[in-house]
Structure 1
Amino acid sequence: MSMDMTTAGDTGLLDALQHEVAVFARRAEQTRLGGVAQVRNSMDRAAYLLLNRLDKEGPMGVKALAASMGIDSSTVTRQVAPLVDSGLVKRTSHPEDGRAVVLQLSPRGLSRLDEVRSSRRELMAQLTHDWAPEEREAFCTLLTRFNSALSARMAASGAPGTEPAPAS
């Protein structure tokens, strides 16, 4: 099978799809998907993803956090520094190995994350207020599939900052 998987009929649709994805990426970056109370509840994407991961998976070391996010340790170290400085993440020493550092969400970090999540949830509700529940569900399912395919492709190509997804 050739790399070009398009047929003549698909070209227009695929052009429209790539254009809409580009517009979405730009708008998401511009708004930082900050939610409804723009300034108060906006949060850097990297910070949001880090805090979210620590909330879902609990305290962990830099290496484990990097692996679970599919980015390298130096990136995590750089991204986590301002979160530690602002008190959203706590650095503690590992219970078994005092030399190892464990990162964990502070109570302040959790409360900030809850604020941002709530604001983003409200934004999603407003943007899709006239959608049927099935439409919201279908969009979420398809966007999840799209993101998974994109992650797998990046990992397979060895793109910087990506690691192959763990085998299931």
Structure 2
Amino acid sequence: MSKPTETSSELLERLQHQVALFARRAEQTRLGGVGKARNSMDRAAYLLLNRLDREGPMGVKALAESMGIDSSTVTRQVAPLVDTGLVKRTSHPDDGRAVVLAVSPRGRGRLDEVRDSRRRLMAEVTDGWTPDEREVFTDLLVRFNTALADWHAGLGRGDDEVPAAAEGAPRTAGAFESQGNTQGA
């Protein structure tokens, strides 16, 4: 027996509701993982450390641009990471006057713990799924996050219009979170 065809409006209603539920449940669990590392690192810290680990040392401005957020936000979020020894400030290798941020050995260790904890949570939540179902869900989530990042960057943004995918438009920096980060956020 086949499922009755939903109208576009009905389908979008279900989608927006499921996204709202997902956001609430993600916040409830904070997708913080399982075990002792659960909820031991907030989302901002995780995303900053993850970016620095993946892309290497960089200045505040470059880090902000790569994440699609304001430099003042990065400065504010990085300060406690420096204070706790998870991030270190060093001189730029080419310009000793400039400062770059890098993940410290302690930060890398904590990041590895949190990544492992989050992977275990994803394994538990999707325990009854086939590998193909996990892959399809991940691919669709990457696509959704990329479209949402593009929308936030202003590609097709408007009060009375449905965001349009900009054909051939460059991906925003925020898209990296969804495309390159297979280890969770």
Q: Aligned to 1:62, which of 60, 63, 78?
A: 60
Once the two structures are TM-superposed, the CA of residue 33 in structure 1 deviates from its matched residue by 0.7
Write out aligned runs for 1:9-88 (5 A). Answer: 9-37=7-35, 40-42=37-39, 43-88=41-86
How far residue 16 of structure 1 moved from its aligned partner, in angstroms, is 1.2
Query: Who is 1:133 aligned against?
Result: 131
Separation in 1, partners of 2:67, 2:124 = 29
Structure with greater proportional helix content: 1
Deviation of the 1:14 alpha carbon: 1.2
Letter in 1 for 2:46: Y
- Between the aligned partners of 1:87 and 1:142, the Cα distance in structure 2 is 36
Asked whether 1:124 is paired with 2:131, we answer no
Q: In terms of mean alpha carbon deviation, does 106-115 or 88-97 score higher?
A: 88-97
Is residue 32–residue 114 contact of structure 2 (8 Å, CA) maintained in 1?
yes
The root-mean-square deviation of aligned C-alpha atoms, in Å, is 1.7
Q: Give the length in aligned residue pairs.
A: 153
Provide structure 1 residue ranges, at least 5 long, that are not aligned to the other structure.
Answer: 1-7, 159-163
Cα contact 1:54–1:60 (8 A) shared by 2: yes
| SS of equivalent residue, structure 2 residue 62 | helix
TM-score (norm 1): 0.86
Q: Deviation digits for residues 99-147 of structure 1, max 9, x if unmatched?
A: 2110000000000000000000000000001001110000000000000
Matched-pair contact (CA < 8 Å) for 1:41–1:115: no
1:105 equivalenced with 2:93 (yes/no): no
Question: How much does 1:97 deviate?
Answer: 2.0
- Identity value in percent: 71
In structure 2, what is the Cα distance between the partners aligned to 1:23 and 1:98? 48
Quick one: distance in 2 between partners of 1:151 and 1:70? 9
